[in-house]
Structures are given as structure tokens and as C-alpha cells.
Amino acid sequence: MELDFERCYRAVDSRDQRFDGWFFTAVTSTGIYCRPSCPAITPKRENVTFYPSAAAAQRAGFRACKRCRPDAAPGSPEWDVRADLVGRAMRLIGDGVVDREGVPGLASRLGYTERHLNRMLTAELGAGPLALARAQRAQTARILIETTDLGLAEIAFASGFGSVRQFNDTIQEVYAQPPSQLRERRPVRAAEAGTISLRLAYRSPLHIPALLDFLDQRALPGVEERSGNTYRRGLVLPHGSATAALTPADRWVSASLRLTDVRDLAPAVARCRRLFDLDADPDAVDATLGADVALSASIKTEPGVRVPRAVDGFEMAVRAIVGQQVSVAGARTTLTRMIRAAGGFDGSQLVGFPAARAVADLPDSAFGMPAARRETIRRLAEAVADGKIDLEPGADREESVARLMELPGIGAWTAGYVAMRAIGDPDVFLPTDLAVRRGAAALGLPATPKALERHAERWRPWRSYALIRLWRAS
């Protein structure tokens, strides 16, 4: 990633929060690195170097600023937008794949050699997959040190470090103090026992009602719920189950996580960020869409509308299939029946969606839908369980869509919906969707599918965001 010095320096000099996560500022005179919006005095030009990732700054010997906490900045929106190797790798690293499977596992998932993967990431981010995962481990460890009463040795292994020594050395190097000192400096907490509380930063603006209304209308009883401005849901994570409570506030979302296994902290955070689309660049999206007169009023009155995504790709694909020809309320009833049949509810807490294998093994009576659609879900579940269809964050978007459409009963609408919400494609458009056409008509746009699709070309590469606005307009 090439960083234009003048543009970056202007962002630092103006403390522009929009650039947090896009790049990091390293100051040679102090040996620290910051986010662009750091409130400290602007460093002299000759003392500044810019890096595309926190890992690259750490690799160059800089330690994190204690004032602006650059390691907790929003992620770069590039990794959500890009569908290439680097974007896919960054999404998987964020989900904790390197901690669980190592670099060989990451390379295998992506279909490249370790050497090529390391070369590509180093060229663009100034650090390879191990260094990028190490930077994430340090942030995970800091959260656990400051928000739990776990022993430091437990935190070391829960964060993904291979040894206590490695943990101690990394924390000292990144934060310029040992773990024990970080714990002494931790803020006073009022969190419930067993709960990890943290803030998930985002780039303003964030249109909170649009996000919560969308999720609330489609909420599955026993899996997710909304109470005021707080959204809660169950999660199925690599090492166990969890529940997350997310409350949007100014500049961050307050998150309370209850994890069966603290090793799941990083993937839980990654999935919550993905669900709320917190790494988006709303200014870039709104600038493109706002150039269209038909959408300009919507942009002015409701800036920062996000695309609600998914914590589970398979769950989202099943939802899309069930919702093809029924109302949102009807889809909710059908899905609830399936979850109950799979033994998903225990009555005491929210749970995650059943695994693909559990759904594939359900009896016919559990589906409550026409036989053809039931078989589509079965075939999807078997394909996901067998690894033939990838719906995870690092999936190849084009390949996943193509394989979805090979299944009988899955057409362009369903595959596009899954690509948008499960795989994170920001440029999906569904011109045949009835609600989209109603919304288009309400805004004075062409209402026929072909004419609307032609008009939507001007919204690239953000047509998924336009889609959400048309749904709201309907």
C-alpha cells in the first residue's frame, strides 16, 4: 500500500478521525506510533514515518502510544471491500485463523503457498501473517488484562501466545511495560462477573436506527433480540458458545461478551465488528451515493447507513433461502422451528445458529416448507459441512457465488443476498427484489428491474449500501 506523505501528514495535522485505521504514524524522536487523530502535538515532518499497519510499525521497533491506543483503532475499510488475496487474508487473520491453524492453515484456506502469502502481505502491509497475528494477540491480551481477573499465564495462552515468555516479551515491546504493570494501570471496572467489556471503534457517522431496525425486524427468538438501543445475540465460536450485547454510542459500540472459552475473544470481536459493518468508510460511501440526486436527500437526513452483515455465513445462507418467497415474519417462524428441532434452545440464554451438519441431519418434519426448498437447504448444509462451499470471511466471493448457484433452488437473488451479508461484498444489487423496486419508485427512480439496474451502475462500488437505503425507503 502506497502512502502519500503529504496527504497523511495533513490528516495527522488536522487530527482527522476518518483516517484512523487507514495508516499509522510513527515518530522517530519518541519511538512511538499513533493513530492519525492522536491529540498529542503534531510531530515535525522530519520525525515522521507512515506505516500501513500497526504490525509494520511494531516490526520497525515502535511501541503503541498510551494516549490514543492505535492498536484499538477501527480496521482499514480496504479489507472489507477488497476481494483479492490480501483482503481475504486480513479477514481470516482478524477471525483468529493464524492463532488456531498457524500460517500453513491460513495459506491452505486461501489456496496459496506460505511463501507467496508472506510476500504479498509484506509488500502491501509491511508485515507478514505472523507479525499481523502477533499484533492482534497483543491487543487481545491487553483487553483481557484490563477487563478480566484471569491470571497472566492464562491470558498468555488465551491470547494465542505459545509461551508465557513470548507473551511477556511482546507486551513489553508493544506497550513499553510488562503485563503486570498494565494490570496495575487498568481502569476501575463495573462489569458483570464473567463478562468482557470493551469498546469497538468505528468511523462516524453511524446511523444507529437503520442498523438496529434492520436486525430487529429479522430477529430470531432465542438467537437474537433487541432491547432499546442494545442488540444481543448468541454466537457459535471455534472453541465454544458465547453471547454478545452491543450498544452503539458516539464513536464506538460498547460490547459485553460472555465467552465459554476466552480463546474466542478475537473471533468474537471480529464477528461483532463484521455484523455492524464497523470498519466501513461512510464518507466514501455517502459521497458516491449522494452524487445521485435521487439519493442525496436520504444521505443528508440519514448519513452513515451500514450494511448489516453476519456472524455466521451458513446461517445467513439458510435465512436467504427460507426468505425467498415468504414474508420476513413467515421466515422467522420457519427458522425458529428449524432451530428448535436442532436442539438449539436451552431456555436460559441466547444461542447461536445450528451447525451445517446438524441442519443436514434434521428430519423432513423440522423444516415446515415445500420439499424443493427443504432439499435446497439440505444440499447447502451438506456442501458447507463437507467444505465444498465456503461462506467464511476469507471466501473467494466469485467462487462462492458460483457454487451457490450450482445448487438447485438458488438463483441470482439468493446468491447475491448471501454475497452481501455473509461474504461482505459491498457492491451487490438485487433489481428484481419487490421491496427494492418499491423503494426506488418512492425515490423517483426507475422501477423496472432492467432500468433500475442500469441506473445503479453509477453507485458502484457501493451498491449494497444503496440497496439498504432502497429497502428503508420502501
Nearest-angstrom CA–CA distance, 245 and 256: 5
Which residues are bridge partners to 227 per DSSP? 230
Taking the C-alpha atoms of residue 419 and residue 416, their distance in angstroms, rounded to an integer, is: 5
| DSSP state string for 40-91 | SPPPPGGGEEEESSHHHHHHTT-EE-TTT-GGGSPPPTHHHH--SHHHHHHH
Residues in Cβ contact with 307 at an 8 Å cutoff, skipping those fewer than 6 apart: 277, 280, 420, 421, 426, 464, 465, 467, 468
Cell 487498568, residue located:
186
Please identify which residue in the block is written with the cell numbers 471455534. 238
Sign of the Cα torsion 130, 243, 320, 410 reads: positive
List 25's β-bridge partners, or say none: 34, 50
Q: Any idea which residue has 465454544 for its cell? A: 240
Q: How far apart are CA 23 and CA 25, in angstroms?
A: 7
Instruction: Point out the catalytic residue in the list 8, 34, 38, 272.
Output: 34
The active-site residue, picked from 264, 312, 390, 433, is: 433
> Across-strand partners of 404?
none
Per residue, the 3-state secondary structure of 209-238, as one string, reads HHHHHHHHHCCCCCCEEEECCEEEEEEEEC
| Strands 240-248 and 252-259, bridge-based pairing | antiparallel
Told to judge if 34 belongs to the known catalytic residues of this protein, a careful annotator would answer yes
First-to-final CA distance of the chain? 40
Reference 377, options 310, 320, 312, 331; nearest CA is 320
Quick check: is 68 catalytic? no
Q: How far apart are CA 414 and CA 8, in angstroms?
A: 41
Q: Residue 444 contacts by C-beta under 8 Å, 6 or more apart in sequence?
A: 294
Nearest one of 181, 179, 177 to 159, comparing CA atoms: 179
Q: What is the Cα–Cα distance from 203 to 147, expressed in whole angstroms?
A: 24
CA dihedral in degrees (293, 296, 298, 300; nearest 10)? -160
Q: Distance between CA atoms of 283 and 271, rounded to whole angstroms?
A: 23
> Distance between CA atoms of 111 and 217, rounded to whole angstroms?
38
Q: What CA–CA distance (Å, rounded) separates 272 from 432? A: 30
Query: Active-site residues: which are they?
Result: 34, 433
